[in-house]
A = this chain, B = another copy of it.
Amino acid sequence: MNERISSKKFDETRSREEDALGISVKKSEDLPEWYTQVVLKSELADYTGAKGFIVLRPNGFDIWEQIKQYFDSKIKKTGHRDAYFPTLIPESLLKRESQHFEGFTPEVFWVTHSGTQQLSERYAVRPTSETIIHDSMSRWIRSWRDLPMLLNVWNSVLRAEIKSTKPFIRSAEFLWQEGHTAHASEEEAEKEVMDILLDYRDVMQGLLAIPVYIGRKSEMEKFVGAVYTTTLEAMMPDGRAVQMGTSHHLGQNFSKPFEIRFLGKDSELHFVWQTSWGISWRIIGAAIMEHGDDKGLILPPKVAPIQVVIIPIIFSQAKSTEVLNECRELEKVLSGAGLRVNLDSRDNYTPGWKYNEWELKGVPLRIEIGPRDIAKRSAILVRRDTGEKESVLLSDIASAAKNKLEDIQSSLWNSASERLRKQTQETNSYGELKRIIDSEGGFVKAPWCGSQDCEKKVKEETGADIRLIPFDEKPGLNSKCIVCDKGAKHLVYFARAY
């Protein structure tokens, strides 16, 4: 019944591909190529038939789910609730806040037809949902009793990208969450902006083991329509920064055009104060670059969908049942201890092949168990990050595995923090700033007068922009702007960025 086709050529392709399971370049020598190979070969994502769009494959999706569960349960505890809003936004709604519209319109995908009919009004495929959510809020909010309104949406947004696609870091569509809140006072809204920024920092640092700096964006770099934008910035091994998330204070910039008013306890009508904030799957891209090595991905244990993989070592068919039973028992014990475990019992791959595959896929801890281990009532624990092996008694294995995973998490955190420290330099000299950006990259802290002319000059001449204005660091007394030599208002972090 099946159509059969000569399979010779196909066989050749297959074996070439199997040879190429590993990563063929060193991370330190060619980060972009290394990154692409890791993403594709560990099956996190793939390119698609739609140019600029990627697929999130199950291995990648499971990581996103971990992040989602962690953050979602965190914000639910503070009263935020999830909802779903339409993918298409009428042009008239998108236009209602004019700066916002102008900022987004160059990258909007426009729907003009349904079936064969031209629409009377164009729809934007959502680039972000402020406008359509605020339109709903204007109907839902009536009195102070309806506030604060704390909404969150897990969805995807689309922005036409002219630059080339880099999975997770830059693509025409990405998964993210967008939070949208309305408050009775400006103080409350500003507190929300900061609370969420700190929740985000906990996702980056606590879950993904990526150290970040936090601060405000400059006026030029803020979200279009916001009063101000706060940001989290990480540094990649190649010296380029990644913006990990943003939390915006919208003030009343949207509530006025969208007429979102509430009857206060004072029996007067007031416009609400608003925030919006988002993190996307881009942070998966940053985690890959931050922690991976020449063998492939290294996932921080807290975010790893599979924390421990068990590999049965089977030499003879005679012993296979015994080994597999022991592995199943072990799987139960570890799951029971709250660990995310996978028993790789496939019989069509060798243990060595499996080691390579799970190393490529970044599983933090491997347990090898064969007849000799069983005889000794022990198993071998192998750390993904250091390769270190240790024989552990089966009776101690749950606590040993937990300890190892904690060690791995802090070890990844420590290396990343150490690297960030090294990649953060400070200077008062523009020449030195240029030299650092050109040769080493990384963050360069420097005093700045606050003018957009100086900001643009640095951007044009070095490719670096102001990644953030820290909350708690100020320029020294009498310190001068690194560009124009006028008095410095801020100490800012310059870097080239993804």
User: A83 to B108, Cβ gap below 8 A?
Assistant: no
Cβ proximity bits A92-126 to B, threshold 8 Å, 1 near / 0 not: 01000000000001111111111110000001010
Query: If A57-B83, A85-B48, A86-B173 touch, does A107 touch B114 (CB 8 Å cutoff)?
Result: yes
Indicate if A132 sits at the interface (CB-CB under 8 A): yes
Contact of A89 with B by CB under 8 A: yes
Asked if A87 contacts B125 (CB within 8 A), the reply is: yes
Question: Which B residue sits closest to A261, measured CB to CB?
Answer: B5
Structural contact, A271 and B2, CB atoms closer than 8 A:
yes
- Which A residues, 122 to 162, have Cβ-Cβ distances below 8 Å to chain B? 123, 125, 132, 135-136, 139-140, 142-143, 145, 151, 156, 158, 160
Known A-B contacts A112-B110, A135-B49; the reply to A158 vs B7 at CB < 8 A is no
Q: CA–CA, A480 to B143, complex, Å?
A: 65
Q: Contact at B82–A50, with CB atoms within 8 Å?
A: no
- A285 on the interface (CB 8 Å rule)? no
Give the distance in Å from the alpha carbon of A451 to the alpha carbon of B269 in the complex: 66
Binds B, one of A9-17, A315-323, A334-342: A9-17
Which of A46, A82, A115 has the most chain B CB within a 10 Å cutoff? A115
Complex Cα–Cα for A84 and B263 (A): 42
Interchain CB contact (< 8 A) of A263 among B1, B7, B54:
B7
Q: Is the CB of A114 within 8 A of B109?
A: yes
**Would you call B143 and A14 a contact (CB within 8 A)?**
yes
Cβ of A88 under 8 Å from chain B: yes
Q: Does A377 contact B (CB under 8 A)?
A: no
Contacting residue for A116 out of B106, B135, B173, CB 8 A: B106
State whether A58 and B81 are in contact (beta carbons under 8 Å apart), knowing that A87-B156, A109-B123, A160-B114 are contacts in the complex.
yes
- Known: A14-B142, A85-B48, A132-B49. Contact between A115 and B160, CB under 8 A? yes
Q: Are A268 and B4 in contact (CB under 8 A)?
A: yes
Q: B residues within 8 A CB of A135? A: 48-49
Query: Which B-chain residue is minimally distant from A152 (CB atoms)?
Result: B58
Contact indicator B108/A3 (Cβ below 8 Å): no
Q: Which residues of A225-240 are within 8 A (CB) of B?
A: none
- Check if A440 is an interface residue, CB within 8 A of chain B: no
Question: Chain A: interface residue count, which band?
Answer: 35 or more
Q: Does A386 contact B (CB under 8 A)?
A: no
Taking the closest CB of chain B, its distance from the CB of A57, in whole angstroms, is 6
User: Would B85 and A269 count as touching, CB distance under 8 A?
Assistant: no
A164 within 8 A of B: no
User: Contacts A3-B271, A142-B17, A160-B115 known; A48 to B81 CB distance under 8 Å?
Assistant: no
Q: Closest approach, in angstroms, between the C-beta of A5 and any C-beta of chain B? A: 4
Any B CB within 8 A of the CB of A75:
no
A88 CB to nearest B CB, Å: 6
Q: Tell me, rounded to whole Å, the shortest Cβ–Cβ distance linking A7 to chain B.
A: 5
Q: Which residues of B contact A114 (CB under 8 A)?
A: 107-110, 160
Residues of chain B within 8 A of A87, CB atoms compared = 87, 125, 156, 158, 173
Most buried by B among A49, A105, A140: A49
CB-CB nearest in chain B for A121: B51
Task: List B contacts of A105 (CB < 8 A).
Answer: 115
Which residues from B are CB-within-8-Å of A4?
268-270
- Give chain B nearest CB distance to A120 CB in angstroms: 10
Contacts of A270 in B (CB 8 A): 2-4
**Pairs A–B under 8 Å by Cβ, sample size 27:** A2-B264, A4-B270, A5-B268, A7-B267, A10-B261, A14-B142, A14-B143, A46-B139, A46-B140, A48-B135, A49-B93, A54-B86, A55-B83, A55-B84, A55-B85, A55-B136, A58-B83, A61-B81, A61-B82, A61-B84, A64-B84, A86-B173, A88-B172, A108-B114, A109-B111, A109-B123, A111-B112
